[in-house]
Amino acid sequence: MSRSDFGIIGLGVMGKNISLNVAEKGFNLSVYNQSEGDELHVVDDFLLVNKSFKNITGFTDLGAFVNSLEQPRKMLLMIPSGKPVDSVIGTLIPLLSEGDVIIDGGNSHYSNTKKRFELLKSKNIEFLGTGISGGEEGARNGLSIMSGGSNAGYKKVSSIFEAISARDFQGNSCCTFIGPEGAGHFVKMVHNGIEYAEMQLLAELYALMSGSMNNENISEVFSFWNEGDLSSYLLEITSEILLKKEGEHYVTDLILDKAENKGTGSWSCTSAIELGIPNTMTTASVFARYISSFKYERVKFSKRIEKKSSITENFNIDELKSAYQLARIINHHQGLELITEASKTFNWNLNLSDITRIWTGGCIIKSKLMEHCVSVLKLSKSILDDNETFNSIVKSEQSITLLLKEGMSKRIALPCFNSAYNYWISMTTDALPANIIQAQRDYFGAHTYQRVDEPLHKFFHTNW
């Protein structure tokens, strides 16, 4: 019997759509899903709905699925991260041969990916921890694919990944081999951290603008911005979201204001702390979601506060635009600095320009700004090293100051904009009050300090 070129384990929303994407590109495909409980008929239903695809074969027996694949076998796991991944890998190992390739396409923590990479390396099985972005639409029509782990393994699947990925602004595939071990999943984690802050910034703009503008007006502004340098996927869909109605009500007015999360944002925060990188905007956006979850407490405490008018009068839209542009640049800079530090710490030798390139198509954070980052990072280590980018922030500083003043005067929380401003001011201030902190630490703990009038390798203690 003819064998399949590729296999996919897990027929959830993403697994189903990636399967159709692969099959549509002409590859013979085997798919597997467990047949227990409410997943009893998943494979049969998938094949029935997509019976026009004659190059897809379905399995509910893992051994038969593995045997259906051409060697070296190449299979993508689209299952929940954590223990399910370890369980499936453990079941697969005795069924595989040397040189076969397992790809974890879920949002796994990069440290777990490193452990799995080492385990499978000892079995002479190639392993790829692969970050995938694009949601349901991208899975079906073109993804951004970030692979880490085995370079030899990547070469075996690169033709398939290139076929199912989106195209960047120059027509190239939005996929690449990121680096060894957990590099692919680390980069996807940071991608999601940037995404958290981008979403929060738009939510904060809505909070400001809705005091004097209706949804149609705000949507019109966002749509107009999306035609220029601020163009992004998230800006585009937010302009559409604001117009959706259910009867006489905007859907946004019917949605409970409790934002959920799946963990990758908090992983970015933790990793930034561990690596000593001030990833303040992702952190602000994560905690904004946490605060939103305390709905009962927020309602209770709000009843004890004298209400201020939230109406914002005659706020200059151009000032809003300028402040938004500043905050987005800082957000991207912080995320890329985290990747840079991880590359140094783990000896991954990551290419920032190539990473941002595959983020220009298919993924949730694709934007004109990301395209700008691609060209800047070919010449500079940091986007703030670029004079044009740096000077644009300098010009926008007054705008974000006005935005924050407006928020404070109307009692509107703007944690992400505040975070962007504070980071920018701190990073462009030559003398911070950290000398007081060092003195305090020396006073109560004799932790010592360095002096401005002595070489930096010397440390001093004062008998306070």
User: Which residues are catalytically annotated?
Assistant: 188, 195
Question: How is the beta sheet containing 6-9 ordered, strand by strand?
Answer: 56-59, 29-32, 6-9, 74-77, 101-104, 126-133, 144-149, 175-179
Distance CA 187, CA 272 (A): 13
DSSP-assigned letter for residue 70: P
CA dist 215 and 17 (Å) reads 32
Query: What's the half-sphere exposure (Cβ side, CA atoms, 13 Å) at 53?
Result: 24
Phi, psi of 132 (to 5 degrees): -130, 125
Reduced to 3 states (helix: H, G, I; strand: E, B; else coil), residue 227 is: coil
For residues 141 and 160, give the distance between their C-alpha atoms in angstroms, rounded to a whole number.
14
Name the nearest CA neighbour of 278 among 422, 396, 149, 392.
422
Return the residue matching tokens 């802050």.
Answer: 197
146 beta partners: 131, 176
Q: How many CB atoms lie within 10 A of CB 65?
A: 25
**Residue 223 tokens, joined:** 């749509």
Report residue 445 as tokens.
Answer: 């703990």
Q: How far is it between the farthest Cα atoms of the chain? A: 84
Query: Which stretches of 359-412 are DSSP H helices?
Result: 368-379, 387-409
Place of tokens 């109307």: 410
